Amino acid sequence: MKKMMVLVIGMVLALTACDNGNTGGGEGTPPKPDPVEGTWVGTLNQITYKLVVANGSFTQYNDNVMSNKGTYTVSKNTVTMTWTHKYENNEWVTSSTTLTGTISGNTLIFEALTFTKQ
């Protein structure tokens, strides 16, 4: 009986130690969904811009042509996107442009360009 109790207690401790709070298991808080993740579309000067965003990275399309790739961070309602690569002369080249915008529900605004989540 003592061996069984020790085994059960050991299993409970092992499972509790594995819960880092990001899994939604145990007493941890489940992770909040990323408000930016998804596909966003906006139009400016007759050009349709599309952002495909997931897991801290994004790809930008201008009139359905892949044009930029990069990373993003979110803090409250502020979104910071950093273009790390741009497609130029049939090749990817390094870029380091950073742009800050705001997000509210299904609207993402960067200066004069407003995106709507699809």
pLDDT in tens, 31-66: 778 999 999 999 999 999 999 999 999 999 999 999
Domain residues for 88?
A: 32-117
Q: In this structure, are 24 and 45 located in the same domain? A: no
Q: In this structure, are 12 and 53 located in the same domain? A: no
- Residue 43, phi then psi, degrees to nearest 5: -125, 135
Q: In this structure, are 60 and 99 located in the same domain? A: yes
Q: Summarize the confidence of residues 92-117 as an average pLDDT.
A: 96
Number of domains in the chain: 2
Q: In this structure, are 54 and 88 located in the same domain? A: yes
Q: How confident is the model at residue 27 (pLDDT cuts 50, 70, 90)?
A: low
**Mapping DSSP to helix (H, G, I), strand (E, B) and coil, where does residue 89 land?**
coil
As a whole number of angstroms, the distance between CA 96 and CA 80 comes to: 12
**pTM reported for the whole predicted model:** 0.72
| Nearest-5° Cα angle at 73, 69 to 78 | 115
